[in-house]
């Protein structure tokens, strides 16, 4: 069975082909980062218009890469939500129109389920059950995953998501949008000992987290440095980046270990854009190996938004595919409300 997946929930147009026998055959991505950079953040209307421009050429490129034609498709999956309404509608419209023309079913995929299942595209792939640490730009959640659609939220951020904290902190440090990956690169050459920032809710008895105070702590620290030595130089900036990253990583690692202990599970799956963070990966790998636990990640290129995870999640849910007709998108959509398989 060959499934075309279309992702258009935010600022990346992703298209991919997943074959249930042969695996991932092709994936194509266009990122709108450069376009949004001059505004310092995603402009929803521009995002929608750009998805319209990209989605058909990317679909053609995908089919060519895999040596397939539209007639070879068995079903089409698209991101139904959560995300930007207009951006989601582009993927939904193209998926439904194509499926209608080809007389094949469509599957609306939950974007976070796509992220959550993306480590299953790696080798080795985790067995169920596992604890999932979902760390994206919009969400930070710990989940008990017992099967596809069997998701229990164990804890989550009470305010900013980890990715959001990276991006907002990067912005206040004057780094270009999207700042998260840049901040993490600068942190690598920073001194982990020079500054210490608070670890919000590190020792709270639950599995919830809070990251919004960190950017304020960074701002205070920057002001203190400026009062002491004048403008922030590169060394001090990198040291602040490092202190920020140390704090986020420590909270994420500690809460993940706690979730594993609480559920008695032995496997941790990390998904979402922040899962690309090298320091987070190294810290999780070290903590897990000391305790005989296993950590799984998606292939690095599939950590951030992409069509492959949508094609894959669509293939897993192909039994729930529907005939085309009226369709909708869900800008807000609770992952725990999905039906189990
Ligand atoms: O999963 P994703 O592509 O989009 C959402 O669904 O939100 O995640 C994007 C987020 C952004 O906040 C970005 O700054 C963050 O992931 N991110 C990183 C890194 N790469 C991407 N954060 C920290 N370190 C990275 N290397
Ligand atoms: Zn995402």
Q: Which residue has its alpha carbon closest to ligand 1 atom 24?
A: 277
The minimum-distance atom of ligand 1 relative to the CA of 12 is: 3
Query: Above pLDDT 90, what percent of the chain?
Result: 95
- The Cα–Cα gap between 107 and 318 comes to 7
Tokens of 152: 């229990």
Q: What's the gap in Å between 73 CA and the centre of ligand 1?
A: 31
Question: For residue 99, what pLDDT is reported?
Answer: 97
306-325 pLDDT, tens per residue?
999 999 999 999 988 888 88
- The Cα–Cα gap between 209 and 173 comes to 23
Question: For residue 324, what pLDDT is reported?
Answer: 84
170-186 pLDDT, tens per residue?
999 999 888 999 999 99
Residue 319 is given by DSSP the state G
Average pLDDT of 252-264?
98
Q: What's the gap in Å between 70 CA and the centre of ligand 1?
A: 32
Question: For residue 325, what pLDDT is reported?
Answer: 85
In DSSP terms, which residues pair with 108 in a beta bridge?
Answer: 78
Residue with tokens 């993927």, as numbered in its chain: 91
Global pTM exceeds 0.75: yes
Average pLDDT of 69-86?
98
Tokens of 306: 């992409």
Q: Give the H or E element holding residue 24.
A: strand 23-31
Tokens of 111: 């974007």
Q: What domains, with CATH codes, occur in the chain?
A: 2-116+302-337 (3.30.420.40), 127-297 (3.30.420.40)
Query: Above pLDDT 70, what percent of the chain?
Result: 100
Q: What's the gap in Å between 191 CA and the centre of ligand 1?
A: 23
Residues 6+ away with beta carbon under 8 Å from 203: none
The minimum-distance atom of ligand 1 relative to the CA of 163 is: 12
Report whether pLDDT(190) > 90.
yes
Tokens of 336: 């725990």
The minimum-distance atom of ligand 1 relative to the CA of 162 is: 12
Question: For residue 162, what pLDDT is reported?
Answer: 97
Which mutation among 87, 166, 179 tests ligand 1's pocket best, with the greatest number of atoms within 8 A of CB? 166
- Burial of residue 23 (CB within 10 Å: 0-12, 13-18, 19+) is exposed
Question: For residue 320, what pLDDT is reported?
Answer: 87
Ligand nearest to the CA of 140: 1
Q: Using a 6 Å CB cutoff, which residues line ligand 1?
A: 115, 136-138, 163-164, 166-167, 178, 180-181, 184, 272-274, 276-277, 304-305
* CB contact burial 26-56 (16+ within 10 A = b; e otherwise): bbbbbbbeebbeeeeebbbebbbbbbbebbe
Question: For residue 143, what pLDDT is reported?
Answer: 97
Average pLDDT of 107-111?
97
- The Cα–Cα gap between 258 and 108 comes to 33
The minimum-distance atom of ligand 1 relative to the CA of 272 is: 1
Is 92 within 8 Å of 331 (Cβ atoms)?
no
Average pLDDT of 259-266?
98
The minimum-distance atom of ligand 1 relative to the CA of 276 is: 26
228-251 pLDDT, tens per residue?
999 999 999 999 999 999 999 999
- DSSP 3-state of 147: strand
In the predicted model, what is the mean pLDDT of the chain? 96
Q: What's the gap in Å between 329 CA and the centre of ligand 1?
A: 23
Neighbours of ion ligand 2 (CB under 5 A): 136, 305
């Amino acid at each position: 069975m060959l499934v075309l997946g279309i992702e258009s929930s935010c600022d990346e147009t992703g298209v991919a082909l997943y074959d249930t026998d042969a695996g991932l055959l092709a994936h194509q991505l266009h990122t709108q980062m450069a376009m949004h950079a001059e505004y310092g953040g995603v402009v929803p209307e521009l995002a929608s218009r750009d998805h319209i421009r990209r989605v058909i050429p990317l679909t053609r490129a995908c089919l060519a890469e895999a040596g397939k034609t539209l007639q070879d498709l068995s079903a089409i999956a698209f991101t139904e939500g959560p995300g930007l309404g207009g951006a989601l509608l582009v993927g939904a419209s193209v998926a439904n129109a194509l499926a209608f023309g080809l007389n094949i079913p469509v599957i609306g995929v939950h974007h976070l389920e796509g992220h959550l299942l993306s480590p299953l595209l790696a080798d080795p792939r985790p067995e169920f059950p596992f604890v999932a640490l979902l760390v994206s730009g919009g969400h930070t959640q710990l989940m008990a995953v017992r099967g596809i659609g069997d998701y229990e939220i164990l804890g989550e951020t009470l305010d900013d998501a980890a990715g959001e904290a990276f991006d907002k902190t990067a912005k206040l440090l004057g780094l270009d949008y999207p700042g998260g990956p840049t901040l993490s690169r600068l942190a690598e050459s920073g001194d982990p000992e020079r500054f210490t920032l608070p670890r919000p809710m590190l020792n709270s008895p639950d599995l919830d987290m809070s990251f919004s105070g960190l950017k304020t702590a960074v701002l205070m620290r920057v002001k203190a440095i400026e009062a002491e030595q004048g403008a922030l130089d590169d060394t001090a900036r990198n040291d602040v980046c490092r202190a920020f990253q140390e704090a986020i990583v420590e909270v994420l690692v500690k809460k993940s270990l706690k979730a594993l202990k609480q559920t008695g599970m032995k496997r941790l799956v990390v998904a979402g854009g922040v899962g690309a963070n090298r320091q987070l990966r190294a810290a999780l790998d070290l903590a897990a190996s000391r305790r005989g636990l296993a950590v799984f990640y998606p292939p690095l290129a599939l950590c951030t938004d992409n069509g492959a995870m949508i094609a894959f999640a669509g293939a897993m849910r192909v039994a729930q595919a529907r005939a085309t007709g009226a369709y909708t998108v869900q800008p807000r959509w609770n992952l725990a409300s999905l039906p189990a398989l």
